[in-house]
Amino acid sequence: MGKISLLLTCGAMALASAACEKANGEQKPTDDSKPRSSFEADNTGRNVRERDTTELSPKDQNNNEFDLQVTKDIRQKLMADGDLSMNAKNVKVITQDGIVTLKGAVKNDAERQNIVDKAKSIATVKRVDDQLDVETK
C-alpha cells in the first residue's frame, strides 16, 4: 500500500508542477537545440513593412457590427474554399466603413483574383483595396 501512495503522490506533484508552468505562461521549446523565439513565421519579412508606417494592419479593423460582419463573411468564404492555399486563407482582411483591404501573400494571380472576387461578392462591400502579393519562386 505504501508504494501505491508514493506513486500517486508523485503523479499529483507532477501534474501540479505542469499546471503551475502553464498558469505562469512558461513553455518549453519543442526542439531543445533551438529556443522558441528563433522560430519565425512564414511571412515575418512581409510584416516588417507594417511596423512603423501608416499602412493598414489588422489592428485598424473597425469594431462596429457592420464592418465586423463583412470581415467575418469574407473570412468564412476563404476558409470554405478547399482550393486556396493556407497562405491565401490567412490573408489579412481589414474592413473600415465598408472598404475592405486585403493584404498578404498568395501563390499565383488566379488565387489572388479568387480572393478579391470573394470579397467583392459580399453585397455590403463598397470597395476592395487589393494589396495582395503574388509569391515569386
Residues of the chain predicted below pLDDT 70: 1-54, 60-62, 137
pLDDT at residue 13 in the model: 63
| Residues 85, 132 within the same domain | yes
Q: What is the mean pLDDT of the chain?
A: 76
Contact residues for 78 (Cβ-Cβ < 8 A; gap 6+):
84, 88, 89, 91, 93, 115, 118
What total of structural domains would you count in the chain?
2
Phi, psi angle pair for 116, to nearest 5° = -60, -45
Q: Could you give the 3-state DSSP secondary structure of residue 62? A: coil
CB 132 within 8 A of CB 91: yes
pLDDT at residue 9 in the model: 65
pLDDT at residue 137 in the model: 65
Instruction: Specify the residue for cell string 460582419.
Output: 69
| Residues 31, 50 within the same domain | no
pLDDT at residue 83 in the model: 94
Q: What is the pTM of this model?
A: 0.61
| Residues 32, 80 within the same domain | no
| Residues 31, 52 within the same domain | no
Domain of 118 in residue numbering reads as 45-137
